[in-house]
Structure 1
Amino acid sequence: MAEKIEMVALSPTMEAGVIVKWSKKVGDEIKSGDVLCEVETDKATMEYESMDEGTLLSIIVDEGAEVPVGQLIAIIGEKDEDVSAIIEEAKKAPVKAEEKPAAKASEEKAPAKAVKQTSGSRPTSRSGKIKASPLARKMAEEAGVPLNSVDGTGPNGRIIKRDIEKAIADGPATQVASSMREQVIQVSKKRKIIAQRLAESKYGAPHYYLKLSINMENIIAARKQINAKAKEKLSMNAFIVKFVAEALRRHPQVNASWQGDTIVQFGQVDIGLAVAQPDGLITPVVRNCESKGIAAIDQDMKVLIDKALNNRLQPQEYTNATFTVSNLGSFGIEEFTAIINPPGAAILAIGKSEKTPIVTANDQIVIKPMMKVCLSCDHRVIDGAVGATFLKDLKDMMEDPIRVLL
């Protein structure tokens, strides 16, 4: 008997998914656990595994289409089984395709002669490839002329031989001047959800910010000493996460969440680390940091970050952080403020460590590696004095690591 394969929620917040790619084709034999397709959720691109066995009789939804959770996407059954009635029924529930930007849609509807090609705007094929004749493409490659810097004069703006000859004659100055082009980029499901969640956090939770500088001299020395003997080098982020976890263990009011009628103080420290992806941020979560050493935290982070960069995180690996750390120091950022990542009530923004002149208690000027940090707090959960005490204790522990043992 034929089985209807419906879109399922692959993440806790998923309401719809985009079919990125079908891994099977009609007629293939399917076993339980086989990957049917890849689906872009609000957080990552994930594999959709079949729970049924049989022959893939029909693919209802094409690649690139957005499908609400619960809607039919394929049919599995016995070979040569008649599923025409199910297919006909599915046609009555139209699939919502990804909408094209208004500006681009209007250009496609306009007659070719009405589209004026301007420097910086190039006609492309459906695959996104700039339209050019094979000869023009070869000439451009040999002469080192970027196709996106050339105005096409052929049919429908196609780049032809005389366009490349003109670009070569005009010289590098013209090519450089026209190397930029206007683009309209479709917003991914993930970025839409990120925008929605961050807006809700920023304007729903009353943020306030606490800033100070931490002398990283002892942490840097300790890391250097450990890494000199270690088989695998430990990252600075692992050290930071460990000290943050210890500070949270001592200040449970900060490791908490606003729940409307209640405030939850979590029984473990699960720290999310913001990781940049091409279409937005994601926060893989290291669990139980309060009970792990720096090496264990570092190993967990490496696995999670690798998954994040390859869109392979599972929902339980990026949700429900009790606290978040965002480190932009590697980008040369000295100081910044961050938006709280729900359900947590605070996030710590880390800047780069740089040599800075400071004045000692004896009025001497010395050079120390100082790192600026900013703690964003939800005032509904964390009072100013509580946040300040937490941050001061974190600073004291990082400047004098022996305190962690006390």
Structure 2
Amino acid sequence: MAIEILMPALSPTMEEGTLAKWLVKEGDTVSSGDVIAEIETDKATMEFEAVDEGVIGRIVVAEGTEGVKVNAPIAVLLEEGEDASAADAVGATSEPDPAPTAEAPKEAQARPEALSDEAGTGTQPDTGDATKAPPAPVKDGERIFASPLARRIAAQKGLDLTAIEGSGPKGRIVKADVEAAEAAPKADAKPEAAKPAAPAAEVKTAPAGMGPETVLKMYADREFEEVKLDGMRKTIAARLTEAKQTIPHFYLRRDIRLDALLKFRAELNHQLTGKGVKLSVNDFIIKACANALQEVPEANAVWAGDRVLKLKPSDVAVAVAIEGGLFTPVIRDAEMKSLSALSKEMKDLAHRARDRKLAPHEYQGGSFAVSNLGMFGIDNFDAVINPPHGAILAVGAGVKKPVIGEDGEIAVATVMSVTLSVDHRVIDGALGAELLKAITENLENPVAMLA
């Protein structure tokens, strides 16, 4: 029986993606585990492997198609002995989808019915009874939508599909629903489920500001280039808007003297010569933040809507600029890692971030983030918290400045300005100040970080 290959959910939040590239063509034989396509999510380009073996009978979604919904059919796989006509037959009994929108590609609009009965798993067809599924039943003049496998099982067991409530997409009855009904038959009449009113807290209003048409009219007499937003840019815009609208930010600032750190770093790098490791100031900053989160454990926390989660490990995210946006790969258990191990891991994450090759678990999570613009000559700035993190440290450049020494004399020192942006729901002012003090002490006494 022909198998539909569905658009996979490659991250917990993925709702749609771009089918960037097919690595197979119609007529190619594939085995389980073969990479058959490259899928672009909002953050990365990931390889998609075949689950079953067979022959690619039909490619439903052309490469380059954007906005392909998760679980939408993208190809049809033929099993051994089937010819191409079997691929055309797939979806012949499926219900019509709503009218296609202007933005949706034609390949995604023509949606054959999935033979899989698990909405998120994709390609697990019934390989048992090959009897043709009975036609879809009708109740009160309305068609009851059910998968071919569910109709077939219901016919074999003598079950009335009009008395079964579907749990699949759009209320479709799937295999699990039929099996559940067989174990505990439902009443003859299926009452219409009452639609609960949305809680007041969930009601969304249109964002204030100018709409696209208003802005376009404003610049109609000016020459411009219109840049289409990709998935990453849309996600960044949505998350930053959410962050500034919903997170009560407050800011704590300090100047940190780097002379001891720079001297210690030079000594360590000399010892590491020939070992393929060169420590950066940013490596020390990450380590200092990780240690500080252990020293001030109450601040190692995230906002979880109706509660605060206090983390045990120090999972530190680090902002990495890439073309068109940024990633925040997470170094897990950073407090447990040596400076050299941390440095190697950060370089690897940054390299793969720029190639958009990070897996979702590598850029999701963490309780704290570091954003360093000092390398771009920025003296200081305020960073936006990346939800659900409790805080983010904005790091400026190390600049030589006149300072007053302990002896009261004026001297020259390398000073770095930092700003801690804090979520007041998670961390109060005094606690935030304690955390920033711990970060400062770690950086101004770098030898202690190795203890």
The bucket for the TM-score relative to the shorter chain is 0.7 to 0.9
Relative to structure 1, the CA distance from residue 366 to residue 97 in structure 2 (aligned partners, 3 Å threshold; closer, same or farther) is farther
Q: Which residue of 2 aligns with 1:264?
A: 309
Q: Which residue of 2 aligns with 1:109?
A: none
Structure 1, residues 50-108: CA drift from partner, whole Å, max 9, x if none? Answer: 111111111111222321111111111135242212265689447767579x99xx9xx
Under a length normalisation based on structure 1, what TM-score does the superposition of the two structures give?
A: 0.77
Q: Which residue of 2 aligns with 1:41?
A: 41
Does the 8 Å contact 1:65/1:97 carry over to 2? no
Matches within 5 A, 1:28-67: 28-62=28-62, 63-67=64-68
* Count of matched residue pairs: 332
Is 1:252 equivalent to 2:256 in the alignment? no
SS of aligned partner of 1:356: strand
Q: 2:242 aligns with which of 185, 188, 200?
A: 200
State the AA in 2 paired with 1:57.
Answer: G
Matches within 5 A, 1:6-405: 6-62=6-62, 63-78=64-79, 80-81=83-84, 82-86=86-90, 92-93=96-97, 182-230=224-272, 231=275, 232-404=277-449
Relative to structure 1, the CA distance from residue 317 to residue 405 in structure 2 (aligned partners, 3 Å threshold; closer, same or farther) is closer
Deviation at 1:403, TM superposition (A): 3.9
Under a length normalisation based on structure 2, what TM-score does the superposition of the two structures give?
A: 0.69
Deviation at 1:377, TM superposition (A): 0.3
SS of aligned partner of 1:228: helix
Instruction: Flag structure 1 segments of 5+ consecutive residues without an equivalent.
Output: 107-117, 122-181
Deviation at 1:401, TM superposition (A): 2.4
Q: Which residue of 1 aligns with 2:133?
A: none
How far apart are the structure 1 equivalents of 2:226 and 2:94?
32
Relative to structure 1, the CA distance from residue 227 to residue 10 in structure 2 (aligned partners, 3 Å threshold; closer, same or farther) is same
SS of aligned partner of 2:348: helix
Instruction: Flag structure 2 segments of 5+ consecutive residues without an equivalent.
Output: 106-211
How far apart are the structure 1 equivalents of 2:67 and 2:449?
50
SS of aligned partner of 1:202: helix
How far apart are the structure 2 equivalents of 1:96 and 1:321?
37
State the AA in 1 paired with 2:379.
Answer: E
SS of aligned partner of 1:363: coil
Does the 8 Å contact 1:61/1:95 carry over to 2? no
Q: What value does the CA root-mean-square deviation take over the aligned residues?
A: 2.4
Deviation at 1:266, TM superposition (A): 0.2
SS of aligned partner of 1:83: helix
Relative to structure 1, the CA distance from residue 95 to residue 330 in structure 2 (aligned partners, 3 Å threshold; closer, same or farther) is farther
How far apart are the structure 1 equivalents of 2:297 and 2:397?
27
Structure 1, residues 219-273: CA drift from partner, whole Å, max 9, x if none? Answer: 1111111111212212222111111111110111221012233211101111111
Relative to structure 1, the CA distance from residue 23 to residue 86 in structure 2 (aligned partners, 3 Å threshold; closer, same or farther) is same
Relative to structure 1, the CA distance from residue 96 to residue 294 in structure 2 (aligned partners, 3 Å threshold; closer, same or farther) is farther
SS of aligned partner of 1:219: helix
How far apart are the structure 2 equivalents of 1:61 and 1:36?
13
How far apart are the structure 1 equivalents of 2:319 and 2:306?
29
Identity among equivalent pairs (%):
42
How far apart are the structure 1 equivalents of 2:104 and 2:417?
43
SS of aligned partner of 1:253: helix
Does the 8 Å contact 1:246/1:290 carry over to 2? yes
How far apart are the structure 2 equivalents of 1:321 and 1:357?
37
Does the 8 Å contact 2:300/2:310 carry over to 1? yes
Does the 8 Å contact 1:65/1:96 carry over to 2? no
Does the 8 Å contact 1:275/1:284 carry over to 2? yes
Deviation at 1:304, TM superposition (A): 0.9
Does the 8 Å contact 1:32/1:50 carry over to 2? yes
